[in-house]
Amino acid sequence: MAFRFGIAVFPGTWSDRDCAHAVGLTGAEAVFLWHADKELKGADCVILPGGFAHGDYLRAGAIARFAPLMEAVAEHARGGGLVLGICNGFQILCEAGLLPGALLRNRDLQFRCQDTTLLVEPTDSPFLATIASGSRLRIPISHGEGRYFADPATLAGLERGHQVALRYCSPDGDLDDAHNPNGSLSHIAGIVNEAGNVLGMMPHPERVCEPLLGSEDGLRLFGSVTTGLAAAGR
Amino acid sequence: MVNDPQGLVVTDALHSLGYPEVLGTRVGKYIRLELAADLESTAAKRVDEMCRRLLCNGVIEDYSFEIAAGMS
């Protein structure tokens, strides 16, 4: 049976179709999951895509986290099921408490839509199973509120547990301020939960899955999910 | 304290308008709720819960509230 991605759709989600297209390129199946339903339709991995769920009213992700679908997503995550939050999806995961910390307004208060280089850290997660640590991925960001923040104790815990999966870096892999596009704490672009089955990231891998679009690095990430799980015998 | 870039920009703007006494600015949210409750203590308990569950994100925000009677 084909690996199945369930792609959440909230009012205001706009990256759902792009994610379905990207997933299709890996040979996996994509089904859409409506926010008001509690049904994951047998998805192996749930994607919370980018967009402005519920208009980002109050705070990005604050309303979406109470959607009926999120109860099922939380249960899926607690049972070790895979969950990938991209951009707005990352914000929703933080609001839902499935990942620690929060995403704040960008340091320069500007909406940033640009290519970024990401350093892959030695994180134990199916999402990075086939991508060597130290690799660099070229994946764009597109957000106004992506500055990762957590209190010092939480940050220390993330670092100690190798839960920081992706960091913004220079094309050569240096962690310098000029290549931290939003002022994120410790250059954080993506983190996983303690078990590694939930990944939240601000950059958009679904936008770089074909040579025509300048990079196929996003496809490596989606491909890692399917092959990584097969390798783990799940 | 969580860095507030909006507050920094507002401080700069106030300085340039001739208010050097401004030492810092923090930009937040003002939310006005209208609710039905018989007792102020009941209202306070419920509003506090609303703040914790939805209106405020404890990771990055603090909250305080005041209750005024007889708005409607």
Structure-token pair, residue B31: 């939310």
ipTM of the complex: 0.81
A9 by DSSP, 3-state: which? Answer: strand
Domain count, chain A: 1
Using DSSP's 3-state secondary structure scheme, residue A229 falls into helix
Residue in A with minimal Cα distance to B2: A149
Is B5's CB within 8 Å of A59's CB? no
Q: What is the pLDDT of residues A189-233, one digit of tens each?
A: 999 999 999 999 999 999 999 999 989 999 999 999 888 665 554
State yes or no: is A35 an active-site residue: no
Q: Could you confirm whether A204 is annotated as catalytic?
A: yes
pLDDT tens-digit profile of A38-47? 999 999 999 9
B11: phi then psi, degrees, rounded to nearest 5: -60, -45
Q: For A72-87, how does the pLDDT look when each residue is reduced to its tens digit (9 = 90+)? A: 999 999 999 999 999 9
Does A206 participate in catalysis according to the annotation? Answer: yes
- Is A149–B57 a contact, with Cβ atoms under 8 angstroms apart? no
User: Which residues have CB under 8 Å from A146's CB, separation 6+?
Assistant: A87, A103, A106, A112, A181, A182, A184, A202
Write the CATH number for A78.
3.40.50.880
By residue range, what is the domain housing residue A195?
A: 4-231
**So where are chain B's domains?**
1-30, 32-72
Beta-ladder partners of A137: A118
Interface probe with A: pick from B59, B61, B63, most Cβ of A within 10 Å: B59
Residues of chain B with pLDDT under 70: 71-72
Catalytic residue among A19, A45, A87, A94: A87
